[in-house]
Amino acid sequence: MNYYVVTGGAGFIGSHIVDALIAKGSGVMVFDDLSSGKRGSLPIGVPLIVGDVRDAPAVATALPAGTDTVFHLAAQIDVRRAVEEWLQKFEPRVAAIAYLRAQGPRRSRMVSRLISC
């Protein structure tokens, strides 16, 4: 069975990806700080780790062994805040991509694909 991690999985797009993965019988784990997402957006039984993608040790700990693919949707999408606080907007995206990529060579936490939009 394929195993997926969805960052920002409690948000709008992430939760739809979670639904689609569950519908095809895949294993899914969500990593989200719930800053705008909601636990109630997730199907019952989907594991949720509440954390910030900028926290490298938390991300490293969260990635289960055998994770095939990470869908990276964690982001702050409020346009006004994005203009006023552009660094905070982009840091989660950039930092998390760097951390998640860095997991690749690690023996037990191999992530073969990282998908972000």
Task: Give the footprint of ligand NAD on this chain (CB under 6 A).
Answer: 7-8, 10-14, 32-37, 52-54, 73-77, 92, 117
* Of residues 73 and 100, the one with the C-beta less far from ligand NAD: 73
Query: DSSP H helical segments within 1-43, as ranges?
Result: 12-23
Minimum CB separation from ligand NAD for residue 107, in Å?
Answer: 25
**Euclidean distance between CA atoms 62 and 16, whole angstroms:** 21
* Of residues 25 and 83, the one with the C-beta less far from ligand NAD: 83
What DSSP state is assigned to residue 40?
G
Minimum CB separation from ligand NAD for residue 53, in Å?
Answer: 4
Minimum CB separation from ligand NAD for residue 104, in Å?
Answer: 20
Please state, in angstroms and as integers, the Cα–Cα distance from residue 23 to each residue in 19, 32, 45, 81, following that order: 6, 21, 13, 35
Please state, in angstroms and as integers, the Cα–Cα distance from residue 81 to each residue in 64, 84, 86, 87, 88, following that order: 33, 5, 7, 10, 9
* Of residues 1 and 87, the one with the C-beta less far from ligand NAD: 87
Minimum CB separation from ligand NAD for residue 77, in Å?
Answer: 4
* Of residues 53 and 109, the one with the C-beta less far from ligand NAD: 53
User: What is residue 83's three-state secondary structure?
Assistant: helix
